[in-house]
Structure 1
Amino acid sequence: MKIVTWNINGIRTFKNGIKKILDSFDADIICVQETKVTRDLLDEKTAIVDGYNSYFSFSRGRGGYSGVATYCKDTATPFLAEEGLTGLLANQGEAVGCYGDQVGLSSEELLALDNEGRAIITQHHFMGTDGPQKLIVINVYCPRADPDKPERKQYKLQFYQLLQCRAEAILSSGSHVIVLGDVNTSHRPIDHCNPDDVDNFEDNPGRKWLDHFLFETEENTEDGNTEDDLADISQNSASGGKFVDSFRHFHPKRSNAFTCWSTLTGARQTNYGTRIDYIFSDRSLVETAFIGVDIMPEVEGSDHCPVWAQLSCTLQSSPKCPHLCTRHMPEFIGKQQKLSRFLVKVPEKQSVSKGSVESLPGSQDAGEIWENLNPVVLGNSVVKKRPTVREADTNGHKAKRSKQTKTESNAKGSLLAFFKPKQTLLIPSGGNLALKQAESSQDGVGSESDTRSCPSDAQKETNLSKVTAMENEVEGESTSIDKSKDCKKGPCTGFWKTVLHGPPQPPLCKSHNEPCVLRTVKKAGPNLGRQFFVCARPQGHASNPQARCNFFAWVEKGK
């Protein structure tokens, strides 16, 4: 069994669907975070992938934000699937259960924690050494603590508390548990590119929570903790360290093993990042079933990279997909009618009989829809239109149709006619005035009612001669105007160059002697909107000569 987690930073970035990237992992379970898609924007090629069944959790209060999804191969179909950690979003009869003690959180706080689409839980079965076993996979996207929003810090800690409560409750029921995803906290200094630059690194609340949530192996004792320290942590923590960081279990000393980099500074080029994407598992499963765990920094397409784990067990497939599966959504099984059904062309072989006409959506019967979609010709036969009000008088006789009636019937015959550009006569520059006057003159004739007569041939010739004379007159004027524009082109260009200076010339950074890049302050404060120059190279450690130097210069106002 192979399992993968990856923060994809937007699932709609995969223009041709996600199947290609899923197949490249060759994994049984692929968990993705930060899908940034809501249900109304989820397309079929992303939700229904051949060979996989998928489970989505969407943000309910904000579009293009958060969201997680779990893709399982059809050979590893889960037996149960549940959205969220609180149980408030679970379907009756198909919930995984085991919610633990949630007394510390109010009902409003619980609902808010599940409202951003940050968790999907799937239940799997496999045959272990002691017989049939259950495996619960919790796919999470933990919140980020925004320093400008203190309430988000509290939200993040509450989410951690809820996640630990649920994971430990499931583990206590006898199931194995894997918690994986973007946790948004680097645990140890070895997991951060520059821990010395972070104030109170060890005192960070997220790192303290990880200390309580994770069990420290003997290999990690040399990384700053003694055995006495570990004993104190285990004794004082509520969980007793019941889960293991599987990557550090296999690679306790590997440095520069990062999974996230800043795209704004190009930090991935210098590997100046953090490790915040994890695969946590209960200790028993890691020791008996895990074969290997590693990161995949070579996979691009996001500001994060995937993390994979290989297990020796083989998952059993459920005979049917859980109710949460996207295959059961009405919009993907044909139960919900789409707007496109009313815009497609009706097959020509279909015939409409007057005796079996049924009412259709939009207050149109079958004959009307047939007529609208095929207004004039079908094959070699001409379809007759129903007579309009102007075509029949009160005695039932057909009245004489005007030019306007013919034009209207042709325009309203097809819905697509309203989206086609209006065809106009193209004449030389400056002739627009003549064209408009000619059109208004002709419209005055063409818009006559049926009781008024059409213009005579003599009137048509008179109108045509007037239009020709006006075109010639305006064409002569446009030529003189164009010449005057050419004369003034040079002076105008010079004037605007003196007024608009354009961006300032970039200086050369002192370390590399290369042109700098222009940046703008976007953070709220006294310098908001000010521009400055910095070295154009990607961000990196100060000891890396290929990284950005410390050059900085404000752009003076008026330059």
Structure 2
Amino acid sequence: MKLVSWNVNGLRSCVNKGFVDYVHRSEADIVCVQETKLQEGQIELALGEKFQTYWNYAVKKGYSGTAVFTKHEPLSVRYGIEDNEEPEGRILTLEFEAYYLVTVYTPNAKRDLSRLDYRVEWEDRFRGYLKALDEVKPVVVCGDLNVAREDIDIKNAKGNRGNSGFTEEERGKMNELLGAGFVDTFRHLYPDRADAFTWWSNMPGVRERNVGWRIDYFLVSEKLAPAIVDAGIDAHVLGSDHCPVSLTLALD
């Protein structure tokens, strides 16, 4: 089974840049997107009859938002960490027979770190939520986690240390999550692969020179680690300042 995750930075714009074609080329069973930046009724998405669509819209217009497009019907769908309590539309959870799928758009601490305290508190709640799910059945987590985990995950580690997305607090929370029983699938397969990034600044020439960050992930419960077949980064795919990431699992 193949899953894809992509922060599209505005789905309507990304559709105009080839999103639907990419979905079909990917041959994914499930596609998760973050930063849809739209409200209900603002898009007609021609993915075909095979896909069921689930949306978590932010209350604020043109902001945040997540969605899941799946060829497999879920047993249940949950919006937010608690029942429908997420006004920024950051989390969607689909329950399948063998696992939970959680797609997430983690809050940004902001350039001036004015939202760092909120981010840290949110991370603790999110980790608790995932641990509770994992007690029931294994979990697949994907999305824009808004943090470069290690020095290898960012082009200029020394120059960015302490900046939003690379603070000790954010990296610490990421490592707490992994320490709670989750696996970074890309690093599980490719522990030493450098220059593997998923986000680039819009400044001229930055993406062409691959001056990027790896902030988009697939994580899985440790009990799913033996099922990991491949974890990919489609850095060549344009349409957003992020690129798609993928995970292939061998599930019965």
One fold, TM greater than 0.5?
yes
2:76 is matched with which residue: 73, 76, 80? 80
The whole-number CA distance in structure 2 between the counterparts of 1:17 and 1:58 is 22
Q: Which has the larger radius of gyration?
A: 1
State the distance in 2 between where 1:149 and 1:160 align.
Answer: 15
Q: Is 1:265 aligned with 2:204?
A: yes
- Kept in 2, the 8 Å contact 1:137–1:179? The answer is yes
Q: Give the structure with the larger strand fraction.
A: 2
Equivalent of residue 141 in structure 2, options 139, 162, 179? 179
Aligned letter for 1:210?
Answer: M
CA–CA distance in structure 1, aligned partners of residues 112 and 220 of structure 2 = 33
8 Å contact kept, 2:5–2:142: yes
Q: Find the aligned partners of 1:8 and 1:205 in 2 and give their Cα distance.
A: 26
**Are 2:175 and 1:207 equivalent residues in the alignment?**
no
Contact 2:32 2:66 in 1 (8 A): yes
**Structure 1 Cα separation of the partners of residues 22 and 50 of structure 2:** 13
Is the alpha carbon distance of 1:160 and 1:246 closer, same or farther for their aligned partners in structure 2, counting shifts above 3 Å? same
Classify the secondary structure of the residue corresponding to 2:96: strand
Structure 1 pair 84/153, CA: closer, same or farther in 2 (3 Å)? same
Distance 1:49 1:16, change over 3 A: farther
Structure 2 match to 1:118: 90
Query: CA contact under 8 A between 2:5 and 2:246: conserved in structure 1?
Result: yes
Between the aligned partners of 1:298 and 1:80, the Cα distance in structure 2 is 34
Q: 1:312 to 1:59 in 2, by over 3 A?
A: same
Q: What 5-or-longer segments of structure 1 have no aligned partner?
A: 90-110, 126-133, 216-240, 315-559
| Residue among 170, 177, 180 paired with 2:133 | 170
> Cα–Cα, structure 1 residues 149 and 255, in superposed 2: closer, same or farther, change >3 Å?
closer
Partner in structure 2 of residue 302 of structure 1: 240
- Partner secondary structure for residue 146 of structure 2: coil
Which one has a larger percent helix, Structure 1 or Structure 2? 1
Distance 2:107 2:124 in 1: 12
Distance 1:12 1:138, change over 3 A: same
Greater RCO, CA 8 A, separation 6+: 2
Q: Decide whether aligned partners of structure 1 residues 148 and 57 sit closer, same or farther in structure 2, where only a CA change above 3 A counts.
A: same
1:7 paired to 2:7: yes
Tell me which residue corresponds to 1:33.
34
Map Cα deviations across residues 135-155 of structure 1 (whole Å, 9 max, x no partner): 1000000011113362x2122
What displacement does 1:204 show?
1.7
Letter of the 2:56 counterpart: S
Q: Which of the residues 210, 221, 246 maps onto 1:282?
A: 221
Give structure 1 regions of 4+ aligned residues with deviation exceeding 6 angstroms: none
Equivalent position to 1:138, from 102, 125, 133? 102
Change (3 A) 1:160 1:171: same
Change (3 A) 1:245 1:205: same
Amino acid at match of 2:77: A
Task: Summarize deviations over 1:314-354 as a string: whole Å, max 9, x none.
Answer: 5xxxxxxxxxxxxxxxxxxxxxxxxxxxxxxxxxxxxxxxx
SS in 1 for 2:231: strand
Is the Cα–Cα contact under 8 Å of residues 3 and 31 in structure 2 kept in the other structure?
A: yes
Specify the alignment match of 1:539 in structure 2. none
CA distance in 2, matches of 1:82, 1:17: 29
Q: Quick one: which amino acid aligns to residue 50 of structure 2?
A: G
Question: Aligned with 1:46: secondary structure?
Answer: coil
Secondary structure in structure 2 of the residue aligned to 1:267: coil
CA-to-partner distance for each residue in 1:439-467, whole Å, 9 max, x for gaps? Answer: xxxxxxxxxxxxxxxxxxxxxxxxxxxxx
Q: How far has the Cα of 1:7 moved from its partner? A: 0.6
Aligned 8 A contact 1:48 1:54 in 2: no
Partner AA of 1:303 in structure 2: D
Structure 2, unaligned stretches of length 5 or more? none
Contact conserved, 1:19 with 1:50, CA < 8 A, in 2?
Answer: no
Matched residue, 1:20: 21
Deviation string 1:382-437 (CA, Å, 9 cap, x unpaired) is xxxxxxxxxxxxxxxxxxxxxxxxxxxxxxxxxxxxxxxxxxxxxxxxxxxxxxxx
Instruction: Specify whether residues 77 and 19 from structure 1 end up closer, same or farther in structure 2 by C-alpha distance, changes over 3 A only.
Output: farther
Are the aligned partners of 1:277 and 1:307 in contact in 2 as well (CA < 8 Å)? yes
Question: Amino acid of the residue matched to residue 145 of structure 2?
Answer: V
Query: Is this contact kept in 1: 2:20–2:47, CA < 8 A?
Result: no
Q: Following superposition of structure 1 onto structure 2, how do residues 203-352 of structure 1 map, counting pairs within 5 Å?
A: 204-215=168-179, 241-287=180-226, 289-314=227-252
Query: How many Å separate the matches in 1 of 2:18 and 2:157?
Result: 38
Percent identity, please. Answer: 33
Deviations 1:164-216 (A, max 9, x none): 0110001112x01011100000000000100110245886211011121114x
SS at match of 2:120: helix
Assess, with a 3 A threshold, how the Cα gap between structure 1 residues 157 and 19 changes in structure 2: closer, same or farther.
same
Q: 2:150 aligned with 1:188, yes or no?
A: yes
Q: TM-score, normalised by structure 1?
A: 0.43
Which whole-Å deviations, capped at 9, do the CAs of 1:24-73 have from their partners, x for residues lacking one? Answer: 110111101111101242x3x2287422001000111x211101100001
Name the count of aligned residue pairs: 249
1:219 corresponds in structure 2 to none
